[in-house]
């Protein structure tokens, strides 16, 4: 009884937070199943989405752009963060600072700047978006990788690899990266999800992706746009939660032992 | 080891710290730094540069003069109020949730809340706007559920398509963001400190007034600033929600870029963008300083 009373504030907070998170989500999901024509619920709005010829086209574009962005980030960040943790302690404050900046500077300013400064050939190729998405996901990916690398005995591992004759390239990509694959995966999926949902830069540079397409179709079919929004939110939630669970098997194992 | 050898070693290591080693260090971060230079700092520099140019490239302050006048003055004041109200109204519940979960929740619950918050904090954009329009619109079932419990959100003048509506929608990702950034600070309030205060005869209220709140206050303010910057510069959700009916700086910049609004000063948008950068920097520099200070005892 005493224990229950003591946990009352926790219960209240969990209940209110749960309602706050799930009520709009569940309610929007219900709304997206409404069929005003026949006044019942069904999958019509979702079927309508899949009938749109642009659907596959834009999903394809968005996945391609997000994949390239994530690849750029990993290739750039994994070696740099390993390097910083091994040798570059002095440069840390500087690198911490420049990788945090995309969080500080309004995205609108970056979009205008890109439009203003990048050469013609870069602006006429949609893959320029991947580079800008990589910039925007940088603060998150950098911190994720940094936390992951701090949790392993990096020095020992790299010295062992180097001692056995591996060069830096082999040490980073074939020894260290597999050790932190959980962290690399979370950084990868985080940047995939962020890039997939990016709207500001995409629309200000006048490109169309899955995200901007949703606003376009909302003008023809609001129910379709709502169904699409619910679908993409739920897909990203499930995706990120699964990754979160998969990426931390070691921690949850440790927790189990603790209990 | 001979004297000469020691000398050279000394010399080498000295020179090493000065040139060879630092060169190596810089090479290690060169790819990242050049990437950020080309795709981030160079575009921003170009905005700054162009904001002081007129249509033929001559130096001028005219862009800023227009940017400081109407209707942009109202837009700046709207955006700053949106940022402030949104930050305060999300920071308080976020701080309470972080405190209750950190102090009363088990390890597993804390982990769970952290990953859910992480996921929610990345939401936003157009899908979030549509989700709220469906749920809390006049016909939405969330509105109906709340009404069944005696809460009629449409009793007053509230609509989703106003500043209040945008603040409400933003809270969906801002409260989780607060939970993420504030939890480490709460975690840092060690149980031992509370016990130590109690042993020295302090009441719970005294502990909070003299120890707890003074310790948490800097982190609270810095989290508040982070939320301010996020709400101040958010674009997609506001655009989808209000479709331009509320004057906000990012939306006005967007209208200029899209050519929806014609202005004969082609660099006006850049001056507005620099104004936004300036406001964000004013908020974020104290954030960074406080974070650094707070990390000392965490």
Q: CATH no. for residue B140?
A: 1.10.3720.10
* pLDDT value of position B118: 82
Whether pLDDT at B222 is above 80? yes
| pLDDT score recorded for residue A133 | 94
B136 within some domain: yes
Q: How far is A199 from chain B (nearest CA, A)?
A: 6
Q: What's the pLDDT score for residue B279?
A: 92
Q: Flag whether B265 is in a domain.
A: yes
Per-position b or e across B193-231, b if 16+ CB within 10 A of its CB: ebeebeeeebeeeebbeebbeebbebbbebbbbbbbbbb
A-B contacts at Cβ under 8 angstroms: 242
Within this chain, do residues B185 and B210 fall inside the same structural domain, yes or no?
yes
* A228's tokens: 């699409």
Mean of per-residue pLDDT scores for chain B: 82
Please give the model's pTM, rounded to 2 decimal places.
0.84
Considering the domain architecture, whether residues B1 and B149 belong to the same structural domain is answered as no
User: Which residue on chain A is closest to B139 by alpha carbon?
Assistant: A31
Higher pLDDT, A188 or B58: A188
Which residue bears the tokens 């392993």?
A152
Out of B78-82, B151-155, B187-191, which region has the weakest mean confidence (pLDDT)? B187-191
CB contact under 8 A, B277 and A109: yes
Same-domain pairing of B25 and B102: no
The tens digit of pLDDT for each residue in B71-98 reads 888 889 989 999 999 999 999 999 999 9
Other C-beta atoms within 10 Å of B103: how many? 14
> What pLDDT does residue A5 have?
57
Same domain, B3 and B109: no
Is the domain of B290 the same as that of B156? yes
Contact A31 B235 (CB under 8 A): no
- Contacts with A63 (C-beta within 8 Å, 6 or more apart), sequence order: A196
Give the phi and the psi of residue A14 in degrees, each rounded to 5.
-65, -40
Whether the CB-CB separation of B66 and A141 falls below 8 Å is answered with: no
Residues β-bridged to residue A34 = A41
Closest residue, chain A, to B169 (C-alpha): A24
Domain membership flag for residue B94: yes
CB A214 within 8 A of CB B127: yes
Sort out which chain B residues have CB atoms less than 8 A from A225's CB and list them: 130
**Cα separation of B232 and B87, whole Å?**
9
Residue B27 lies in a domain: yes
Mapping DSSP to helix (H, G, I), strand (E, B) and coil, where does residue A93 land?
A: helix
Task: Indicate whether B38 and B160 sit together in one domain.
Answer: no
User: Residue A41: enclosing H or E segment and its boundaries?
Assistant: strand A40-41
Query: Under 8 Å CB-to-CB from B172, ≥6 apart: which residues?
Result: A20, A21, A24, B120, B123, B128, B132
Q: For position A109, what pLDDT does the model report? A: 92
CB B252 within 8 A of CB B238: no
My answer on whether B39 and B179 are in the same domain is: no
Distances (CA, A) of B226 to A47, A105, A179, B160: 41, 12, 33, 24
Q: Which residue has the higher pLDDT, B93 or B6?
A: B93
Confidence (pLDDT) at A179: 83
- Does residue B56 lie in a domain region? no
Is B95 in the same domain as B222?
yes
Query: Nearest CA of chain A to the CA of B3: how many Å?
Result: 30
Q: How confident is the model at residue B69 (pLDDT cuts 50, 70, 90)?
A: confident
B9 and B87 share one domain: no
Interface test with A, best of B47, B227, B263, B274 (most A CBs within 10 A): B47
Confidence (pLDDT) at B16: 45
Residue B200 lies in a domain: yes
Where is A90: in which H helix or E strand? none
CA distance A43 to chain B (A): 16
What total number of domains does chain B contain? 2
CB B272 within 8 A of CB B255: no
| Residue A194 with chain B: CB contacts under 8 Å | 122
Residue of A69, A102, A109 to mutate when probing chain B, most B C-beta within 10 A: A109
A32: contact with B, CB 8 A cutoff: yes
Residues B72 and B46 in one domain: no
Q: Do B46 and B71 belong together in one domain?
A: no
Question: Which of A112-121, B129-138, B271-280, B288-297 is least confident?
Answer: B288-297
Which of the residues in chain A have pLDDT under 50?
1-2, 249-259
3-state secondary structure A179-247: HCHHHHHHHHHHHHHHHHCCCHHHHHCCCCCHHHHHHHHHCCCHHHHHHHHHHHHHHHHHHHHHHHHHH
**CB atoms < 10 A from the CB of B23, how many?**
11
- B213 and B267 housed in the same domain: yes
Q: Do B122 and A193 touch (CB under 8 A)?
A: yes
Q: What's the whole-number mean pLDDT along residues B263-280?
A: 85
Query: Is residue B99 situated within a structural domain?
Result: yes
Q: Across the interface, do B273 and A79 touch by the CB < 8 Å criterion? A: no
What are the tens digits of pLDDT across the range B224-269? 998 998 899 888 888 888 876 788 889 888 888 887 776 677 788 8
Interface residue A56 vs chain B (CB under 8 A): no
A111 in contact with chain B, both atoms CB, cutoff 8 A: yes
- Which pLDDT value is given to residue A136? 93
Of B51, B70, B93, the residue at which a domain comes to its end is: B51
Separation CA B194–CA B86 (nearest Å)? 32
Structural domain span for residue B27 = 1-51
Given pLDDT bands bounded at 50, 70 and 90, which one contains residue B294? low
User: Which chain A residue has the Cα nearest residue B270?
Assistant: A112
Question: Does B57 reside within a domain?
Answer: no
Q: How far is B5 from chain A (nearest CA, A)?
A: 26
Q: For position B43, what pLDDT does the model report?
A: 93
What local confidence, expressed as pLDDT, does residue B94 receive?
94
DSSP B59: B
């Amino acid at each position: 009884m005493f224990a229950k009373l003591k946990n009352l504030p926790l219960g209240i907070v969990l209940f209110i937070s749960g309602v706050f998170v799930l009520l709009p989500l569940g309610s929007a999901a219900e709304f997206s199943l409404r069929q005003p024509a026949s006044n019942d619920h069904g999958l019509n709005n979702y079927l309508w989405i899949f009938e749109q010829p642009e659907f596959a086209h834009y999903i394809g574009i968005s996945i391609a752009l997000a994949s390239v962005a994530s690849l750029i980030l990993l290739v750039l960040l994994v070696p740099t963060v390993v390097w910083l943790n091994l040798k570059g302690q002095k440069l840390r404050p500087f690198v911490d600072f420049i990788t945090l900046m995309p969080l500080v500077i309004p995205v609108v300013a970056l979009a205008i700047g890109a439009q203003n400064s990048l050469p013609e050939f870069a602006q006429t190729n949609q893959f320029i978006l991947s580079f800008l998405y990589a910039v925007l996901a940088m603060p998150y990916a950098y911190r994720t990788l940094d936390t992951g690398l701090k949790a392993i005995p990096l020095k020992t591992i790299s010295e062992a690899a180097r001692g056995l004759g591996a060069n830096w390239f082999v040490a980073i990509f074939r020894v260290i990266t597999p050790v932190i694959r959980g962290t690399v995966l979370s950084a990868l999926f985080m940047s995939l999800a962020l890039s997939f949902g990016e709207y500001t830069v995409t629309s200000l540079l006048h490109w169309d992706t899955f995200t901007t397409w949703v606003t376009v179709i909302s003008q023809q079919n609001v129910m379709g746009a709502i169904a699409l929004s619910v679908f993409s939110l739920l897909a990203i939630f499930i995706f990120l939660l699964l990754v979160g669970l998969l990426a931390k098997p070691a921690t949850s194992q440790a927790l189990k032992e603790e209990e | 080891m001979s004297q000469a050898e020691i000398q050279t070693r000394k010399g080498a290591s000295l020179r090493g710290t000065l040139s060879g080693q630092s060169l190596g260090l810089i090479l290690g971060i060169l790819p990242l730094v050049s990437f950020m230079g080309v795709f981030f700092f160079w575009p921003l520099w170009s905005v700054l540069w162009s904001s002081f140019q007129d249509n033929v490239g001559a130096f001028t302050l005219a862009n800023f003069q227009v940017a400081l006048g109407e209707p942009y003055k109202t837009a700046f004041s709207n955006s700053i109020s949106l940022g402030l109200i949104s930050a305060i109204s999300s920071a308080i519940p976020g701080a309470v949730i972080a405190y209750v979960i950190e102090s009363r929740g088990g390890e597993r619950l804390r982990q769970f809340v952290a990953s859910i918050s992480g996921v929610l904090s990345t939401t936003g954009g157009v899908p979030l706007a549509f989700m709220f329009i469906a749920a809390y619109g006049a016909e939405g079932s969330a509105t109906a559920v709340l009404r069944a419990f005696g809460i009629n959100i449409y009793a007053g003048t509230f609509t989703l398509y106003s500043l209040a509506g945008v603040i409400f929608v933003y809270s969906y990702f801002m409260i989780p963001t607060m939970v993420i950034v504030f939890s480490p600070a709460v975690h840092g309030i060690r149980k031992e400190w509370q016990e130590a205060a109690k042993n020295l005869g302090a009441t719970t209220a005294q502990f909070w007034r003299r120890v707890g709140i003074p310790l948490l206050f800097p982190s609270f303010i810095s989290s508040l600033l982070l939320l301010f910057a996020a709400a101040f510069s958010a674009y997609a959700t506001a655009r989808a929600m209000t479709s331009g009916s509320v004057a906000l700086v990012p939306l006005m910049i967007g209208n200029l870029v899209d050519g929806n609004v014609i202005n004969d000063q082609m660099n006006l948008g850049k001056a507005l963008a620099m104004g936004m950068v300036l406001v964000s920097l004013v908020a974020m520099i104290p954030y960074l300083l406080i974070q650094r200070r707070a990390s000392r005892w965490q």
